[in-house]
Structure 1
């Protein structure tokens, strides 16, 4: 059978449906999640161990049976398995976008040709094959069959989240809570069921507290809305910043003052989209020749800040406003994006690999920003296009405060 690629956004049920289908049909399979491995060798050993049905042991460093230092070792092991003429095996590789540039994926896709092993290969990914993320020569790598799991529409998402209602709590009030706050504010930032479940677990008690304490009647929905609105806005900012992965959202919320209206944005965007928009804004204001100051810390640190330099900056800024923002290539925007991210957090080891793994997600974020008209594509396809940034200076300043970026350090003019 040809390889099969099951793709779709996060939390769309790809892995659960595929594994449950095999279990329901009573068919055995091997499962390997590529997200667990940062190097090819342990991944190869895990594949061999799973296909041989051996459990990994702590004494062996959880390497599984069969040592595999390189791809040739994998082929030798699988050729030996093929000679036994056993029933067809099935291998599920999850998060396969993590190894899309590795030779191991190209070999697995032609495994039957190389080894004679009768194996069905199922790949699970957030990125479709036709997105140019899988840059294989067609002679090396056959195109798999594709099955798409589309993202949930908002009514479907709210219907799923309605099952999170604590037993005995007011069903109608919980539905209003979901439709008023979780859907419009949080589900537009993340469609991951797990993230939204954590938010509900921590914010629902805050929302319902005035009713339980007898301060507001359950029928007074408008009073409940205004009593909780400021907390929801503050929680949304924490959620966008990544605090949805911690169990302390409610604690952080209670210790944090509500956002001031003057600094609040009038629209909701994921954290990554905001940083991408700031990168686009910087590229649309700065001349390309000034990028060296962004990417060379020593150059930026040594920049003159005397009176003459400040006057030149002011004059250049006035001229730039008269000319208006200019277009910029995709590569320049992405380079500026990573500069902003690295300035926020010290880059860990393996940052280059993490950037590669996230490139597909960034392309999807850029497409969304174009569809929402925050960015406009001037020329070319997605990979070689030039873009223009549509946000105003005021919005850029609010967004920079929201993600804690100092724009004056990046918008140079001269």
Structure 2
């Protein structure tokens, strides 16, 4: 669930009691009454549409779009695919919309339901109004592992729920006879075992069930293009949640502040700098808190309304604090790079080659990979194809220079591994003996051992801030990386390996 709206969500008994009953005394659990159809509703006081929109700044268009797609009471809908970056309000808004509409839903997170059996049984237990307790051995309503069994059991369970809703709608208006299945953190399904089977099954549920009273909603942090294949199912309707703008973030951060005038003056100074690094509200809130405390130190009364002179004094103090922090950071970085002189004693050979590969991927245009990294692991000036025209060469050189002027670029994991495989295939320095004793990713040739634990090495380099791990692209759905080391450090690492770095580095 997205953290920026988590505090707004009331607690649902069907979720909490079904999963945490093992920590509650048996007598208390057994004293709870049986679940009813009302437990499929999002609890809490009714919320108006205006209240919902005001609770989520910058999300008015998405709220109205989902409301339009859900339609009036008892309206059949096509599957929805709600996607966007993390901490953009996707889950919170969907659940609060159902609280506003007062419609039943079955919510399952693919983070806690981390394989298909747990997901199947969680959905069935909720539909069958089953509560785990000591009397049933804290077991689910049904044990279900096979997709075919799940579809049959799901159809029966949904039929019972829909019939109950129809009976209830005769005496209680406003609920209707529709039930919705919500799959949160749906991008994680791609990492499951048998994901090639479970993904088509879930996308095909709309056609398999053929029940107009059932709606499907998928919530993902990656775009629908990362899932689709030629399987013949009805494509869900996409609803995109973009990153918050600076103005949206400002409104969100101001919501729970006791002195909004003071905090607003602080945000005018600090927010723009932090938004360059991240736009996730939870990360920004955590990062800004100690800085705001420092900003308020000269004030005896934090409820005061800041004047122009006061703002200038607080701004001066904040700038001085920032300069002190920057100087400390530069000192630490200098000390860090001085310690790199001992690189040969504490960095493995494979990590060095991975570091060089990331440096080349950031500095070289991707269009030159084919010429710089051929099957023999380097450019061969004797191999020439048809000579390009001067105009084409000038255009290509201009584009490559523009890429260089932008600084280190980002690159996907696939490109990094391809460059890494090329470099280790022509390595002159033998790899560590300890790396020969492990099985792992390998390449054909004498240096296959260098590919061992390459993903673990990449994680270590990211933790050491040699490689920056960015956010996944909402369009491509893939994680991107960027090298943070200087050319001097890259040359130093290359010399320790006796590796000709200049042969692979593009120069104007």
Superposed pair shares fold, TM > 0.5: yes
Change in 2 beyond 3 A, CA 1:261/1:339:
closer
CA contact (8 A) 1:279 1:340 kept: no
Match of 1:320 in 2: none
Give 1:49's match in structure 2, choosing from 125, 136, 148. Answer: 125
- 1:281 maps to 362
> Number of paired residues?
307
The 1:138/1:226 distance shift into structure 2, 3 A limit, reads: same
1:24 to 2:100 alignment: yes
**Cα distance, 1:71 vs. partner?**
1.1
CA deviations over 1:220-249 (Å, ceiling 9, x no partner) = 245223322136659xxxxxxxxxxxxxxx
Q: Give the Cα–Cα distance (whole angstroms) in 2 for the partners of residues 400 and 212 of structure 1.
A: 48
Aligned with 2:230: secondary structure?
Answer: coil
Measured after TM superposition, the shift of residue 108 of structure 1 is 2.4
Counterpart residue number, 2:331: 260
Work out whether residues 2 and 145 of structure 1, in 8 Å CA contact, stay in contact via their aligned partners in 2.
yes
- Map 1:398-409 to 2 at 5 A: none
CA distance in structure 1 between the partners assigned to 2:315 and 2:216 by the alignment: 54
Relative distance call for 1:178 and 1:345 in structure 2 (3 A) is: closer
Q: Following the alignment from structure 1 to structure 2, what is the Cα–Cα distance between the partners of residues 412 and 61?
A: 63
- CA offsets 1:295-318 (integer angstroms, 9 cap, x no match): 799953269xxxxxxxxxxxxxxx
Q: Quote how far apart the aligned CAs of 1:172 are.
A: 4.6
TM-score by length of 1: 0.59
**TM-superposition CA deviations, 1:162-190 (whole Å, max 9, x none):** 2353x24xx45432322322332x22222
Task: Judge conservation of contact 1:41–1:69 (CA < 8 Å) in 2.
Answer: yes
User: 1:23 & 1:301 partners in 2: Cα distance?
Assistant: 59
Match of 1:341 in 2: 458
Aligned to 1:191: 279
CA contact (8 A) 1:30 1:91 kept: yes
Matched, 1:158 2:229: no
C-alpha distance in 2 between matches for 1:411 and 1:182 = 46
Note the 1:159-238 alignment, pairs <5 A.
Answer: 159-165=251-257, 167-168=258-259, 171-184=260-273, 186-212=274-300, 218-230=311-323, 233=326
Q: C-alpha separation between the residues in 2 aligned to 1:362 and 1:147?
A: 13
CA distance in 2, matches of 1:123, 1:110: 12
Once the two structures are superposed, the pairs formed by residues 310-325 of structure 1 within 5 Å of their partners are none
Tell me by how many angstroms 1:23 deviates. Answer: 1.1
CA contact (8 A) 1:45 1:63 kept: no
TM-fit CA distance, 1:26: 1.1
Cα distance, 1:8 vs. partner? 1.6
Alpha-carbon separation, structure 1, partners of 2:128 and 2:228 = 30
Q: Which residue of 1 aligns with 2:499?
A: 412
Query: Are the counterparts in 2 of residues 9 and 150 from structure 1 also a CA contact under 8 Å?
Result: yes
- Could you tell me how far apart the structure 1 residues matched to 2:488 and 2:113 are? 35
Provide the secondary structure at the position in 2 that maps to 1:190: coil
Local SS of the residue matching 2:218? strand
Query: Does 2:222 match 1:127?
Result: yes
User: What is the deviation of 1:58?
Assistant: 7.8
2:330 & 2:245 partners in 1: Cα distance?
A: 29
Q: Which residue of 2 aligns with 1:301?
A: 432
Task: Give yes or no for contact 1:54–1:65 (8 Å, CA) kept in 2.
Answer: yes
Report the 3-state secondary structure (helix = DSSP H, G, I; strand = E; otherwise coil) of the residue aligned with 2:290: helix
Shift, 1:365, TM fit: 7.4
Give the Cα separation in 1 of the matches to 2:326 and 2:133: 48
Separation (CA, whole Å) in 2 of partners of 1:154 and 1:207: 20
CA distance in 2, matches of 1:198, 1:399: 35
- Structure 2's unaligned 5+ residue stretches are 1-76, 164-176, 302-308, 336-354, 378-419, 435-451, 464-468, 502-508
| CA apart distance, 1:43 | 1.6
**Unaligned stretches of 5+ residues in structure 1:** 235-256, 265-273, 304-334, 347-354, 375-390
1:99 equivalent in structure 2: 189
Specify whether residues 365 and 110 from structure 1 end up closer, same or farther in structure 2 by C-alpha distance, changes over 3 A only. Answer: closer
Structure 1 residues 53 and 152: CA distance shift in structure 2, 3 A: same
- The corresponding residue for 2:241 is 149
**Superposition RMSD on alpha carbons, in Å?**
4.6
Task: Say yes or no: does 1:74 pair with 2:150.
Answer: yes
